[in-house]
């Protein structure tokens, strides 16, 4: 998706109790929810295969009326993936679900 065709969001865990201020900064709390997730190393498995696998699983469970997709995909890293090869090697893709 290029920048002109949609909205991009970036989630960063904030540990400060002070309110954040700044132009274009907004805080959003994620409610507790069920997610389907896959953890992988992009050097070992292509991200497109990981996303396709999750989409296939969601189609399969959707036909059985177990879960429905309930929000945007999110990628979770245990650190900064641009600076830490360990964080990059533990990429996790999550998709919120509802029963």
For 30-81, the pLDDT digits (tens) are 778 888 899 999 999 999 999 999 888 888 887 888 888 777 888 888 888 8
Q: Quick one: which of 38, 98, 29 has its CA closest to 70?
A: 98
Any domain includes 26: no
Is residue 56 domain-resident?
A: yes
Domain span at residue 50 reads: 34-99
How confident is the model over 82-99, as pLDDT tens digits?
888 888 899 999 888 887
Report the domain count for the chain: 1
Q: How far apart are CA 18 and CA 11, in angstroms?
A: 17
- 97 phi and psi, to 5 degrees? -130, 160
pTM of the predicted protein model? 0.68
> Does residue 75 form part of some domain?
yes
* Other CB atoms within 10 Å distance of the CB of residue 87: 15
Q: Does residue 2 form part of some domain?
A: no
Residue 57 Cα to chain centre, angstroms: 16
User: Phi and psi at residue 98, in whole multiples of 5°?
Assistant: -135, 150
CA distance 61 to 6: 28
Q: What is the maximum span of the chain, computed from C-alpha positions, in angstroms? A: 46
């Amino acid at each position: 998706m290029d920048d002109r065709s949609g909205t991009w969001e970036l989630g960063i865990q904030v540990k400060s109790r002070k309110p954040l201020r700044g132009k274009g900064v907004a805080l959003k709390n994620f409610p507790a929810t069920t997610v389907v997730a896959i953890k992988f190393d992009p050097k070992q498995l292509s991200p497109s295969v990981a996303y396709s696998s999750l989409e296939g699983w969601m189609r399969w469970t959707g036909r059985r009326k177990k879960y429905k997709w309930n929000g945007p995909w999110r990628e979770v890293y245990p650190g900064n993936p641009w600076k830490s090869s360990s964080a990059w090697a533990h990429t996790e893709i999550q998709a919120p679900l509802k029963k």
